[in-house]
Amino acid sequence: MAFRWYNPLSWQFFGYSDPKTGDYVEVDMEVGGRRTKSGVRVTAKTAMSIGIVWSCVKILSESTAGLPLKLYDDQSGRRELVKGSDRMLRLLRKPNPYMTRSNFLKAVVVNMALRGAAFAVIERVDGETGEPIGFIPFSADQVEVNTDGDLIYWVTAGGSRFPVSPENMLHFKLFSSDGINGLSPVEHQAETMGLAKAAQDWSARFMRKGGFTGGYVIYEQFLTKEQQVQVMEKFPDVRKGDVEDIGKMAILQGNPKIVPAGMSQKDSQFIESQQFQEEALAGIWGVPLPLANRASKTSIMGSNLEQQLSFFVTFGLMPYLNAIEDELNDKLFGNKTRFVEFVVEGLLRADSTARASYYQAALGGSGGSGWMTTNEVREKENLTPLVGEQYDRVTRWEMQTNAQQS
């Protein structure tokens, strides 16, 4: 398969200017979506326009892309780091001509976080059986998973539709009800996102109209049609008011009475409702509110940043890392001794006290037998190894006893 099938331009959207209001209207071309009870249709595009959703997806994708992805070779129960100019290493660093490893992983995690799955066709040297030479990403809207009989993936791109075997499709997915199709957060949490989007839109309209929620102009006597037209011409049109109209004055005769309609932001507890929605949405992706640049009055995840960062790595980020590792290891290496693994210790460096205590015990510094070498600890910290046999030895209890006696 040629890389010409990759066409990000086909994923874009278009818009137009409303001739009546002059507003720019962006048309969402994404197929599907769900009309929620709040009246908002939720798609991956509209979900990303919600501030807290953007923050959560951003921190998940950027955290994943920033982690080192190591290639190991398990020889006789001892794994060794693959170094140098190995072809698979080059592929992991540059999955395709358009993307670096970081950009590829960001695209994968964004699709997983929003749609529950991400897809990339494996391009091989000799058709479907050769060594992999590239990963071609596709939007979830372009891939149909067919489970009737044998599993097959149907990809639509460039006006063509072609099948891809499971061996040649990287299918990254979150938790699933059938083990094949990942559950989409946008689809299954549409009501929560729709409520947040509706509140955001309502707040924007509220600000545009200068804090006026609309209302009625009541006269003591009935007006003729001509008088009604005159009132509407003189009175600021609250139905389509603009920022420039705020502060303008209107002259109304006949002793009218203006009665507001609707609830104010205070009466509707808008701020409290917005905070509740942010907590609910952040919980979907397991992102603590402080990491999403949101203030939180209470937290069950601990009061300090170290505890919340540990929670995020364990319950928010790790499911994505495990899914990516498992899929790459299965489709690229199969039964071979090689495997890839993310190094997450870098994200936990803030918890310096706990990490120092753990490494001290691992090196045998607490008086017991160690289970890690100095160079293994340095590898966990993404540091270069030290030269010397003593740095590749595990400290045993017997060795410590003999050293103390001598």
Handedness of CA 177, 178, 182, 184 (dihedral sign): negative
Q: Is residue 328 part of a domain?
A: no
Same-domain status, 174 and 283: yes
Q: Is residue 197 part of a domain?
A: no
Same-domain status, 139 and 115: yes
Q: Is residue 267 part of a domain?
A: no
Same-domain status, 229 and 299: no
Q: Is residue 245 part of a domain?
A: yes
Count other Cβ atoms within 10 Å, centred on residue 45: 17
Same-domain status, 117 and 254: no
Count other Cβ atoms within 10 Å, centred on residue 130: 10
pLDDT band per the 50, 70, 90 thresholds, residue 29: very low
Q: Is residue 49 part of a domain?
A: yes
Same-domain status, 59 and 181: yes
pLDDT for 119? 97
pLDDT digits (tens, 9 = 90+) for 251-302: 666 667 766 655 555 554 556 677 888 889 999 999 998 888 876 655 555 5
Q: Which residue segment(s) compose the domain that 90 sits in? A: 3-13+31-191+273-303+316-323
Same-domain status, 172 and 252: no
CA distances from 142 to 75, 95, 98, 128, 360 (A): 40, 20, 19, 20, 51
> What's this model's pTM, rounded to 2 decimal places?
0.74
Assess whether pLDDT exceeds 70 at residue 239.
no
Number of domain units in the chain: 3
Assess whether pLDDT exceeds 60 at residue 16.
no
Burial 2-22 (b: 16+ CB within 10 A, else e): eeebbeeeeeeeeeeeeeeee
pLDDT band per the 50, 70, 90 thresholds, residue 80: confident
Same-domain status, 348 and 232: no
Q: Is residue 385 part of a domain?
A: yes
Same-domain status, 143 and 292: yes
Same-domain status, 158 and 294: yes
Please tell me what DSSP assigns to residue 161.
E
CA distances from 105 to 63, 113, 266 (A): 10, 12, 43
Strands 24-27 and 14-17: antiparallel
pLDDT digits (tens, 9 = 90+) for 90-106: 999 999 999 999 999 99
Same-domain status, 253 and 400: no
Same-domain status, 277 and 255: no
Strands 117-124 and 41-42: unpaired
pLDDT digits (tens, 9 = 90+) for 323-356: 999 999 999 998 788 999 998 877 776 567 777 8
Q: Kindly report the CA angle at 260 between 258 and 262, in degrees rounded to 5?
A: 160
